[in-house]
């Protein structure tokens, strides 16, 4: 069994988000980068499945050389090898095309992604890869079992879950619940240094759009404090002042 896990290099969750160049570019000064937290969940489930079924886990990232430390982190968590498609990840369609191209020439049984990246929040890559490869894609899953040919998957729906069965190759994007994110141990960190990391040149992709500008949310007004002794006043304020109940 061969599993491909797509990982994004994203700003740490504690990052204060600011922009430069008249709000056209994300300000990367001082930003720590991490493996996208949802991708860690996908990777952790892939490693569990590979242990059970004696398979291999390859991680793929579309990025420039600066993302190598993030890829090494994924290898430390337990992936067997890695591929970096050598290009800036312009948008989801660009990234999905690179991953699909790589997957076409390297047979994978399962392709896993995180449910979304925490920078652009797209939830796009998994379904795009599925479409480009013409195979099923299940988005935002919270459970994945695999018997070697058929996967039983629970996906999130509003107010519940849906259980889907897929036989043959598929792509899925993983949310919390799919697995507990694994933390690399010292042995993993040591061995990650020597695991194979192949660099592949990107294919050309037609541009369909781009981010032209960023905005930061308008600052909120100051808080109106209500004394705890008269907490019941909140209801009147929400009704007549804020008009939300």
Query: For 31, which DSSP code?
Result: -
Q: How many CB atoms lie within 10 A of CB 131?
A: 13
- Exposure string of 46-61, with b = 16+ CB inside 10 Å and e = fewer, is bbbbbeeeebebbbbb
Q: Among 178, 99, 107, 177, which Cα is nearest to 144's?
A: 178
| Least distance in angstroms from the C-beta of 36 to another protein | 9
| Least distance in angstroms from the C-beta of 187 to another protein | 26
Q: How many CB atoms lie within 10 A of CB 113?
A: 32
Could you say which of 88, 183, 190, 245 contacts another protein (CB under 8 A)?
Answer: 245
Q: Among 200, 202, 201, 198, which Cα is nearest to 75's?
A: 198
Hey, which residues between 144 and 203 contact another protein (CB under 8 A)?
Answer: 152, 155-168, 170, 175-177
Return the structure tokens found at 50: 């590979």
With contacts defined by CB under 8 A, name the span among 42-50, 82-90, 184-192, 216-224 that binds another protein: 216-224
Q: Which is nearer to another protein, 82 or 126 (CB)?
A: 126
| Least distance in angstroms from the C-beta of 72 to another protein | 22
Could you say which of 21, 53, 69, 236 contacts another protein (CB under 8 A)?
Answer: 236
In the block, tokens 């899953």 appear at 141
The residue count for the chain: 245
β-pairing, 150-157 with 137-146? antiparallel
Q: Is position 208 an interface residue for another protein (rule: CB under 8 A)? A: yes
Q: Which is nearer to another protein, 102 or 170 (CB)?
A: 170
| Least distance in angstroms from the C-beta of 221 to another protein | 7
Whole-number CA gyration radius for the chain:
21
Q: Which is nearer to another protein, 55 or 130 (CB)?
A: 130
SS3 239: helix
**Per-residue x/- mask for another protein, residues 68 to 107, rule CB under 8 A?**
------------------------xx--x-----------
The CA distance from 214 to 208, in Å, is 18
Q: Which is nearer to another protein, 14 or 32 (CB)?
A: 14
**Per-residue x/- mask for another protein, residues 111 to 150, rule CB under 8 A?**
-----x-xxxxxxxxxxx-xxx-x-xxxxx-x--------
Size of the site for another protein (CB under 8 A): 84
């Amino acid at each position: 069994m061969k599993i491909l896990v797509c990982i994004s290099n994203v700003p740490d969750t504690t990052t204060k988000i600011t922009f430069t160049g008249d709000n056209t570019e994300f300000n990367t000064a001082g930003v720590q980068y991490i493996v996208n937290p949802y991708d860690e969940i996908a990777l952790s489930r892939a490693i569990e499945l590979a242990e059970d079924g004696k398979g291999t886990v390859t991680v793929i990232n579309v990025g420039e050389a600066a993302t190598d430390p993030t890829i090494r982190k994924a290898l430390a968590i337990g992936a067997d090898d890695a591929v970096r498609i050598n290009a800036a990840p312009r948008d989801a369609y660009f990234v999905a095309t690179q991953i699909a191209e790589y997957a076409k020439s390297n047979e994978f049984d399962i392709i896993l992604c995180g449910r979304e990246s925490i920078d652009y929040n797209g939830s796009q890559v998994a379904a795009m890869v599925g479409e480009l490869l013409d195979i099923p894609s299940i988005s935002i899953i919270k459970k994945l079992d695999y018997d070697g040919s058929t996967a039983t998957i629970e996906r999130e729906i509003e107010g519940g879950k849906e259980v889907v069965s897929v036989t043959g190759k598929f792509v899925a994007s993983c949310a919390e619940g799919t697995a507990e994110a694994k933390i690399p141990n010292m042995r993993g960190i040591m061995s990650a240094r020597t695991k194979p990391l192949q660099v592949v040149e990107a294919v050309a992709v037609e541009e369909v759009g781009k981010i032209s500008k960023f905005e930061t949310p308008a600052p909120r007004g100051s808080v109106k404090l209500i004394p705890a002794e008269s907490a019941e006043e909140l209801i009147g304020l929400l009704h007549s002042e804020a008009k939300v109940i």
